[in-house]
Amino acid sequence: MMGMGFDLSVSNLCKKFSMGLAREKKSVHKIYRTKEIRTSSTTKKCKLPKSNLFLEPLLCAARVAKQVPQQHAITSVSLLRPLHHLKLIASSVIMEKPLETVNNSPPKEILEFVKYQGLGNDFLLVDNRDSMEPKISPQQAVKLCNRNFGVGADGVIFAMPGINGTDYSMRIFNSDGSEPEMCGNGIRCMARFVAELEDTIETKSYTIHTLAGLIIPQLRADGQVEVDMGPPVLNAADVPTKLLASQNGAVVKVPLQVEGQNWLVTCVSMGNPHCVIFAKDDGKGLEVNSLPLERIGPLFEHHEVFPARTNTEFIQVLSPTHVRMRVWERGAGATLACGTGACAVVVAGVLEAHIEKKCTVDLPGGPLEIEWRKNNHVYMTGPAEPVFKGKAFL
Ligand SMILES: N[C@@H](CCC[C@H](N)C(=O)O)C(=O)O
């Protein structure tokens, strides 16, 4: 059984505290004394400090916490006069206390993480800078990624020491526990995460070693992250796919039968495998919003022609510089965005002569700007945002 704890951030807590005080300003001088503090096994009468209540809410909360034994979780704080914001502080104290002692259960391991999202593709970022071994196992990642029994995420990303002269290494587990070579949205999140760990606000770039090779994200002044995603891999055996090549070793617009229909697929690896589809063999463009993704996605992912499984992108061309995409990700299912997928789509779209080399890819979670440049590298630009910090039982 796994439990969760979420920290309110210090600034949020202070904001909420001051809002509470503003509402109750008149009574603020009369509410210093608590009636009782209930813990999981005791009820204790105690006082709150008279001073600092306004200026140092966290200190005040810590003092409340100190008045009960460490091993007990505070379950409620009741006051002589009701004070809404103090309850908030008390509940944050519960989260600050050792979570493993709640309900007298034996101590459990705790994982600290920061949740990030890039266009709704969400990840738990783990500070793994002290080891080349991921702090959790693939099985634990599966539990944490579960949206009902865990925190909820499309994957867990580990920020690790760099190798071969790089600043950092990145590894990632999908929500099914499998390990992909690369993750486009994830590496933007990773760049923001390590900048936060380093406490830097510079618009700097990082060299990051991944299982797909060197990737270079650059933090921009406007908050977006531009990533040099490296060159696409087109040779069929390297993608990998068993489909027969149709164009200089590459699989371009090759029919693949799924559910009794022939889909025209182009296979591209951005370190991880992608199968990109603009049309069925009737030649008509796709209406991506009406596709039964949950039904057909797994049929492509596990198709025998993809020995390492595949990510699959379904594309509707809106103009030569603008496409709409829906994705079924290997190991994660239907996600709101896929960065490596968007890069593969632009490469496939150029090979199939649908679009130009610089293109906006609209995903359910928002747009990504992709450019396949003259140096044969693909560049991706998009957002990455922190959502919350947390601690989870493993
Ligand atoms: N969402 C990611 C891709 C994550 C890995 C993928 N599921 C795979 O197994 O290859 C992205 O933004 O690129």
The answer to whether 83 touches 354, Cβ cutoff 8 Å, is no
Strand order, beta sheet including 43-44: 43-44, 34-39, 74-79
Looking only at the bridges linking them, the beta strands covering 110-118 and 385-393 are: antiparallel
**Which of 24-28, 74-78, 81-85, 133-137 has the largest mean confidence?**
133-137
pLDDT score for 68: 46
Distance 184 CA to ligand 1 centre (A): 7
For a substitution probing ligand 1, which of 117, 208, 326, 338 has the most ligand atoms within 8 Å of its CB?
338
Residue nearest to atom 4 of ligand 1 (CA): 183
Ligand 1 atom nearest to 118, measured from its CA: 12
Can you tell me the distance from the alpha carbon of 348 to that of 15, in angstroms, rounded to the nearest whole number?
49
pLDDT in tens, 178-220: 999 999 999 999 999 999 999 987 789 999 999 999 999 999 9
Does an H or E element contain 190, and which?
helix 184-197
The answer to whether 378 touches 232, Cβ cutoff 8 Å, is yes
Distance 319 CA to ligand 1 centre (A): 26
Distance 328 CA to ligand 1 centre (A): 10
DSSP 3-state of 313: strand
90, pLDDT greater than 60: no
- Mean pLDDT check: name the lowest of 34-48, 103-117, 290-304, 347-361: 34-48
Give pTM, 2 decimals: 0.76
Distance 187 CA to ligand 1 centre (A): 10
Distance 180 CA to ligand 1 centre (A): 7
34, pLDDT greater than 90: no
Q: Which ipTM score applies to this complex?
A: 0.99
The more confident residue out of 12 and 212 is 212
The more confident residue out of 47 and 217 is 217
For a substitution probing ligand 1, which of 157, 174, 189, 381 has the most ligand atoms within 8 Å of its CB?
174
In this structure, the residues whose C-beta lies within 6 A of any atom of ligand 1 are 121, 174, 180, 183-186, 272, 311, 329-332, 335, 338-341
pLDDT in tens, 104-136: 666 679 999 999 999 999 999 999 999 999 999
The answer to whether 124 touches 134, Cβ cutoff 8 Å, is no
73, pLDDT greater than 70: no
For a substitution probing ligand 1, which of 182, 276, 306, 363 has the most ligand atoms within 8 Å of its CB?
182
Can you tell me the distance from the alpha carbon of 270 to that of 211, in angstroms, rounded to the nearest whole number?
11
Residues marked as catalytic: 183, 338
Buried b / exposed e along 256-265 (16+ C-beta atoms within 10 A): beeeeeebbb
Give which of 267, 161, 221 is closest to 381, Cα–Cα: 221
Can you tell me the distance from the alpha carbon of 146 to that of 256, in angstroms, rounded to the nearest whole number?
32
Ligand 1 atom nearest to 185, measured from its CA: 12
